A and B are shown apart, each in its own frame.
Chain A
């Protein structure tokens, strides 16, 4: 059970105690202690490069930061998602959209195209 589940359970117990008119200061302080002990959440990152700015466009490049480790799938066949949209549907949040300023210059093609950066907290 994760820390957040533990805290939720304790709060539920507090609610039940409140309904029974048995809630005490000690019950609430125990929840506060749990919050103090909880670790900061870790950020997972998902970089996806695609051919266009649409969420459903096929990804051409992918790299991940998972639980503090950089994890590169061995081949595109092993990518967990084929598009940014698939990743969003699985709970990832987009934190950076393709930089359109880099796409405006027609005289050169920059980098791997349109890059989405997504995060998930654990």
Chain B
């Protein structure tokens, strides 16, 4: 059968994230790596896109080596979507002339909310991205919030958002459905931000940096310190479900809460004077 699809270029490297890092990604939906690309490469990227546009940069070996396969970024990608991941096929440049008003909040097209992490959307700043140049604004945990893209356009200021202001050479890795937008910019000048996707090619497995003492049930899955846009404990459930999916062992979720599906029927497992549920607890079927 003839196909127009390109053969994916695959890569592998050592994972760099630990169990705790992966849990953090499951909670927040993004991971910032500040200043990981060297200055000379950042400048080369800027010169290249000024002269040639962004499309041909994917064919440049130096760009693949120092940006797409950057050690820290690729190590995090490898941790989250497994070995032999597919390297981005294309690169977009969200190049804007500042000042500009804030963009509308959105999830990118085709977003699928759920525990599976089959691809990652990655943003790269080849130049300093201070607040005045409208860095991307994200809503932590929103990769677990379902919404139609067209139903989000009236949202404005939201509590708990994070502006990804960062120095040149910063890369941030996101769960594809995370809510984001270009923030308002006030300075004069051009802002470049390259964006691309990595793809999972292997089934999920817990093959990142494993902590032998990691406690699956008591890990801190709750999204602390930010506003909760969901029902009580739901943030715990969503992050834990994603983590166990990444481990390739959804059965651990059943072990942790005694059954499957939301609502779980009781508070999530926690440490302290009151521990839920007792060891060995399981939900008995409601019907027969």
Distance between A31 CB and nearest chain B CB, rounded to angstroms: 40
From B146, B156, B184, B261, contact of A110 by CB (8 A): B146
| A111 and B154 form a contact (CB under 8 A) | no
Q: How far is the CA of A76 from the CA of B156 in the complex (A)?
A: 10
For B231, the chain A residues whose CB sits under 8 A away are 106, 109
From A60, A62, A111, contact of B227 by CB (8 A): A60
| A72 and B156 form a contact (CB under 8 A) | yes
| A112 and B158 form a contact (CB under 8 A) | yes
For B151, the chain A residues whose CB sits under 8 A away are 111
Q: How far is the CA of A61 from the CA of B139 in the complex (A)?
A: 11
Distance between B283 CB and nearest chain A CB, rounded to angstroms: 15
Interface size on A, residues (CB 8 A): 25
| B230 and A109 form a contact (CB under 8 A) | yes
| B157 and A51 form a contact (CB under 8 A) | no
| A61 and B230 form a contact (CB under 8 A) | no
| B157 and A62 form a contact (CB under 8 A) | yes
Q: How far is the CA of A108 from the CA of B261 in the complex (A)?
A: 11
| A75 and B157 form a contact (CB under 8 A) | yes
Q: Which of A43-78 contact B (CB under 8 A)?
A: 47, 49, 51, 59-64, 70, 72-76, 78
Distance between A45 CB and nearest chain B CB, rounded to angstroms: 9
| A106 and B263 form a contact (CB under 8 A) | yes
For B27, the chain A residues whose CB sits under 8 A away are none
Q: Cβ of B262 < 8 Å from any Cβ of A?
A: yes
Contact-residue size bin, chain B (C-beta under 8 Å from the other chain): 20 to 34
| A60 and B263 form a contact (CB under 8 A) | no
In the complex with contacts A61-B157, A72-B156, A111-B102 CB distance below 8 A: no
From A62, A106, A107, A109, contact of B156 by CB (8 A): A62
Distance between A99 CB and nearest chain B CB, rounded to angstroms: 11
Q: Cβ of B147 < 8 Å from any Cβ of A?
A: yes
Q: Cβ of A84 < 8 Å from any Cβ of B?
A: no
Q: Cβ of B266 < 8 Å from any Cβ of A?
A: no
B contacts with A: majority SS: loop
For A113, the chain B residues whose CB sits under 8 A away are 229-230
Q: How far is the CA of A34 from the CA of B57 in the complex (A)?
A: 66
| A76 and B157 form a contact (CB under 8 A) | yes
For B146, the chain A residues whose CB sits under 8 A away are 108-111
Q: Cβ of B284 < 8 Å from any Cβ of A?
A: no
Q: Cβ of B113 < 8 Å from any Cβ of A?
A: yes
Q: In chain B, what residue has the closest Cβ to A76?
A: B159
Q: How far is the CA of A74 from the CA of B113 in the complex (A)?
A: 29
| A63 and B157 form a contact (CB under 8 A) | yes
| A63 and B154 form a contact (CB under 8 A) | yes
Q: In chain A, what residue has the closest Cβ to B155?
A: A61
From A49, A51, A107, A108, contact of B155 by CB (8 A): A49
In the complex with contacts A60-B229, A72-B102, A106-B263, A111-B145 CB distance below 8 A: yes
For B145, the chain A residues whose CB sits under 8 A away are 109-112
Q: How far is the CA of A107 from the CA of B230 in the complex (A)?
A: 12
Q: How far is the CA of A64 from the CA of B151 in the complex (A)?
A: 16
Q: How far is the CA of A110 from the CA of B263 in the complex (A)?
A: 15
| A109 and B152 form a contact (CB under 8 A) | no
Q: Cβ of A97 < 8 Å from any Cβ of B?
A: no
Q: How far is the CA of A70 from the CA of B101 in the complex (A)?
A: 11
> Could you list 13 examples of A-B contacts with CB < 8 Å?
A47-B155, A47-B156, A51-B227, A60-B158, A60-B229, A61-B159, A62-B156, A73-B157, A78-B157, A109-B229, A109-B230, A111-B147, A111-B151
Q: Top 6 A-B pairs ranked by shortest CB distance?
A: A63-B156, A72-B156, A109-B230, A61-B158, A108-B146, A111-B147
Q: A60-B159, A60-B160, A111-B146 are in contact. List 9 more A-B contacts (CB 8 A).
A: A47-B156, A59-B159, A61-B155, A61-B156, A61-B159, A109-B230, A111-B152, A112-B145, A113-B230
